[in-house]
Structure 1
């Protein structure tokens, strides 16, 4: 399966999303009813296990191959002072991922998930979206292809992380364009900007929305004109995962804004995804509500990097361990519920 070569190709793929394996889902749900516990007593853990079964096409889902991929990029609108950190942090943190020094590296090690980092143009910032589209169509498609090619199709579960100074501003702009509301409704502190920095972020998002209206009301155009290369790559990876029936554990605001176009393309566009957590960014919680995604964790995290989703991987592993490892009433010779 090859990445889309044109925007028309992209739209065709988004309109032909596979539905997963209904028979496997039914079998997994039936197994849950037979495990040695009161029905429904494991709550969301049961739902998670059934979800994985549906997309893996197996009554007993596995987590033998879980991958975490970080996509890193740079943003042209950072010249307006939207971040508490300078642009050179992008390259420095990318090196940190490769050297195993970042928080996500520790979480990946803790849960036994291989970690990869992909450079989506750290040395080639997007255009300042207050002046021009962030990406040309060829640039946008090339970034999507980077993410698309990162999914082999044999993964049991994938997690996406990101690095890009200014990308909470891009996520706020993309979310506002796709779902409406004022710039201030979607903008948060990000890396920790002060009150003046917050005002600058709101102003930049508002200017970007005004500059590209009404084109950004269309989700794909919103991502191209207001997003970043790392965001387009995450979108491409999520699309490829859906086409290859690989379940996705979503991270925070930037990742969720990156895949929102897929969720808006069809009512079930993000049906293969589980929201790992709700971040401290107010825009993320608003976005989760609008996309009807119920997060597994609420830990007030706002680091990015895939760290919230990686933390939620512990919950997902618990769900699979119980579902696939527990005995049924018949296997354990335990009397079931009275009729």
Structure 2
């Protein structure tokens, strides 16, 4: 049954100077944001993009087309302002914060764009032992929560989540497999560009990992065994953002795998989420379908970093501006 607020906002949208439903998905987006903020006149303030970075011990098994030290190099690039996410955030008015929760390397940079919450220098090789201890996983979750609380204190009410970590599509595929019960081949893709032989090797290794931890049933135990420090931080950030009543911008394959974990821990997180795009990574469409999500964009992106969030943000702004500023039929 629709709430009185939902009915009121729907009536406002229907009475705008347009045919009913003519602005399509933007109308549903405006309604969703109004319901998240529990107001007829929602506002988006101090939007942030949080990019969590961490290395993966499983990368030593050759599951990625790129060497593990690319994680460190890309974080340096984020800090210097030269990555795609820097460009898109600057263009569309989002403040970028890059958080090291588990990169194998040290950073001397002192800039407001960079935050250090390093738990350890990368996860362990989950093919040999769990990626994280329970305490390490909990610390990464807490890092995400702390960062979200910090930006909310500075007036942010809309936050996107991105990541960087060579090997993290493997973690995301394993989490997707466990939290959706889909077959592992449906969940595994080429990541950063594996060829056919590399994809076969990746699938073989991930099947072995999945079998090794199939006895685990607690969501945080599964996350600790097969996740990444940056994925756990996104889980914590999403949980806290929902608790704080914030709008959550969901990026691609890896960010959505974090959301699967977060919604398992608290189903209310889902209603705060705007799905910014459909990734070109195999399996993302299946995750979106299971979450009953309608992505705003489909640009064949598979970069990560939160780039889909930054690109979609103007559409989120447009939906709110339509609700607040577009005239109604009274003027006709």
Aligned CA distance change for structure 1 residues 47 and 244 (closer, same or farther; 3 Å): same
Deviations 1:91-124 (A, max 9, x none): 1111111111000111101111110100011021
Deviations 1:11-40 (A, max 9, x none): xxxxxxxxxx95554432232122111221
* Contact kept? 1:223, 1:258, Cα under 8 Å: no
Offset at residue 299 of structure 1 (A): 1.1
* Contact kept? 1:251, 1:277, Cα under 8 Å: yes
Aligned CA distance change for structure 1 residues 306 and 106 (closer, same or farther; 3 Å): same
Offset at residue 313 of structure 1 (A): 1.0
**Aligned twin of 2:25:** 44
Give the TM-score normalised by the residue count of structure 1.
0.88
* Contact kept? 1:35, 1:327, Cα under 8 Å: yes
Offset at residue 194 of structure 1 (A): 1.2
Secondary structure at the residue paired with 1:135? coil
* Contact kept? 1:80, 1:200, Cα under 8 Å: no
Instruction: For structure 1, list consecutive stretches of 5 or more residues without a partner in the other structure.
Output: 1-20, 335-339
* Contact kept? 1:178, 1:218, Cα under 8 Å: no
Secondary structure at the residue paired with 1:270? helix
**Aligned twin of 2:302:** 302
* Contact kept? 2:238, 2:269, Cα under 8 Å: no
Secondary structure at the residue paired with 1:301? coil
Secondary structure at the residue paired with 1:151? helix
Asked if 1:159 is matched to 2:160, the reply is yes
Give structure 1 regions of 4+ aligned residues with deviation exceeding 6 angstroms: none
* Contact kept? 1:127, 1:134, Cα under 8 Å: yes
Deviations 1:267-291 (A, max 9, x none): 5441110111110011111111122
Equivalent-residue separation in structure 2 for 1:70 and 1:88 (angstroms): 17
Query: How many correspondences in the alignment?
Result: 311
- Aligned counterpart for 2:50 among listed residues 41, 47, 69: 69
Deviations 1:172-228 (A, max 9, x none): 01111111233221111110011121112111211111111120x443322221010
**Aligned twin of 1:337:** none
Q: How does 1:176-195 map to 2 (within 5 A)?
A: 176-195=177-196
**Aligned twin of 1:86:** 67
* Contact kept? 1:178, 1:222, Cα under 8 Å: no
Equivalent-residue separation in structure 1 for 2:170 and 2:4 (angstroms): 42
Equivalent-residue separation in structure 1 for 2:65 and 2:196 (angstroms): 11
Aligned CA distance change for structure 1 residues 275 and 148 (closer, same or farther; 3 Å): same
Secondary structure at the residue paired with 2:52? strand
Secondary structure at the residue paired with 1:126? coil
Instruction: For structure 2, list consecutive stretches of 5 or more residues without a partner in the other structure.
Output: 105-120
* Contact kept? 2:162, 2:307, Cα under 8 Å: yes
Equivalent-residue separation in structure 1 for 2:137 and 2:3 (angstroms): 34
Equivalent-residue separation in structure 1 for 2:72 and 2:7 (angstroms): 47
**Aligned twin of 2:146:** 149
Q: What is the RMSD computed on CA atoms of the aligned residues? A: 1.6
